Amino acid sequence: MKSKLPETPLDALNISGALRATIKTIHTWADVSGCWKYPSKKAAGDFEDMSLMDKIYWGYKSKNPVTRAEKGSGLEAFFKDNSAALTLPLPEGFEKKQTVTFGAAGDLIKVPGLENSQDKLYEGVADLLFNKDITYANLESQLTGQDLGAYTFSAKETPPLCCTKEQYDALKSHKGKQYSALHMACNHTLDMGLEGLETTLAQLREDNIMELGVNHDPGEQKKGRIIEKNGLKIGFVSATYGLNGKTIPQGKEYMVNVVPFHHKDPSGNKADISLLNRQIFDCKEQKCDIIIASLHWGYEYEFYPRRAQVDMAHEIIEMGVDAIVSHHAHVLQPMEFYRPQRDPEKTAVIAYSLGNLTSSFSAPHIVLNAILNLTFVKGTVNGEEKAFIQGAQLTPVVQVESPDDDLPVLRIEKLQTLSAKKSEPGAEKEYISAIERYAALVSVKKA
């Protein structure tokens, strides 16, 4: 089970010896002082805003994830009672007529060995994803016709997250079934410029997979994306917090939905989320029964969302969204059940981070992620037709590596399955136990 992947981005950092020595000194000081035990309120969340010290802090978190919520936020107690599985209350007298099941995964990132993993990657979790009516994930790695180049980190730029066609094929499908929708708007969307974006868009269109967060023409940006299934209309609204400092060519700004959730505003103004509001309005105009916000946001390598993010999530729910599915933090974060003031009969579900379904790193906190399953129901109550979320389940899963015909192969296993192997000879008991401890942080059970 020993991984051949680097443990964390810090181990893969391509920098000078002098800078590495400086980073080591600062990280040692942080260990001794405990100054980064809690999230740094001053640190930027967007690469283009980051100072060198912010990047050093980011590197520290990648190896030593922040397992505490912001000081004074009360968020640890707030999330303490979350459950891995929950049947949500429905109004008295509700008569169910239609049901839609939904499976969601987090970041799909290129990893060596994916090209050998077709129809093997999802074997252990296919029931959670490809046996559902609608299946969704965030495609973090773009396709491109250009030379992919080296996958390296530096203090000046982020690595290009681009995958080969073979790796993409292993990510998108399992034994003839594939994702219904893939979110494409993320901080790596422009890693290979417009060519990478357009190549990936064309491939998704060819595969009949709905793309989220990116657009072919200006009119699409203000509209939701809709999937109709079993008599329900499910609308998606979507955005990313930023593009790693890369600029969309003039006249093409509409191609990526960018909402600066974490951008520092010297005047203290909140982020402008009006683009999401327009998309939500469009979903309502098209009479969607359920609206899902697909958001690429949050602070990386922190096991709790920030208080400002929680407040903004509630604001987005009050605008008309029924569920928020989030990615980007690269670690698992809690799930919240929120009763909106606009309709107290409903329970909204907020998944703050599902983590990486696949990752180029092997540390326990990075390979742990989750698959979210929701059940949507539509029917009548007091003579009115309404739709609700009836069930929500967050199942912890883990990326593992195993040889197959002497080739490296990636698989996603349920944490419950991996935990059962701790008693087997040769099992990396400490590694599995570390994964279990991180899962317990966000109140996610093994079942």
Residue 142: which of 113, 120, 167 has the closest Cα? 167
Residue 425's pLDDT is 80
Strand pairing of 232-240 and 225-229? antiparallel
Distance between CA atoms of 229 and 226, rounded to whole angstroms? 10
Strand pairing of 225-229 and 177-178? unpaired
CATH number 3.60.21 given to 76-441 = yes
Distance between CA atoms of 227 and 210, rounded to whole angstroms? 9
The tokens 């949507």 sit on which residue?
376
Q: In the beta sheet, which residues pair with residue 137?
A: 182
Those residues whose C-beta lies under 8 Å from the C-beta of residue 168, and which sit 6 or more positions away, are: 141, 143, 203
What token pair was written down for 3? Answer: 């991984």
**Cβ(337)–Cβ(390) under 8 Å?**
no
Secondary structure of residue 330 in the 3-state scheme: coil
Predicted TM-score of the model (pTM): 0.95
Residue 169's pLDDT is 97
For 308-333, give one letter per residue: b (16+ CB within 10 A) or e.
bbbebbbebbebbbbbbbbbbbbbbb
Secondary structure of residue 63 in the 3-state scheme: helix
By CB atoms closer than 10 A (0-12, 13-18, 19+), residue 365 is: buried
Distance between CA atoms of 240 and 327, rounded to whole angstroms? 10
**Helices within 349-395 (DSSP H only):** 364-367
The tokens 């190896």 sit on which residue?
63
CA-based R_g, the chain, Å: 21
Residue 447's pLDDT is 37
CA angle (392 as vertex; 365, 360 as ends), nearest 5:
25
- DSSP string computed for 224-248: -EEEEETTEEEEEEEEES--TT--P
| Number of Cβ atoms within 10 Å of the Cβ of 382 | 10
Mean pLDDT per 10-residue segment, the chain (447 residues): 84 85 95 96 87 93 97 91 75 96 97 95 98 98 76 58 92 97 96 92 97 95 97 98 92 95 74 95 98 98 96 97 98 95 96 97 97 97 96 95 85 96 86 94 64
Q: How far apart are the first and last CA of the chain?
A: 22
Q: Where in the chain is the domain with CATH 3.60.21?
A: 76-441
Strand pairing of 181-183 and 177-178? unpaired
CA angle (406 as vertex; 403, 411 as ends), nearest 5:
25
Those residues whose C-beta lies under 8 Å from the C-beta of residue 354, and which sit 6 or more positions away, are: 104, 105, 106, 107, 325, 326, 327, 332, 369, 370, 371, 372
Residue 152's pLDDT is 52
**Cβ(309)–Cβ(329) under 8 Å?**
no
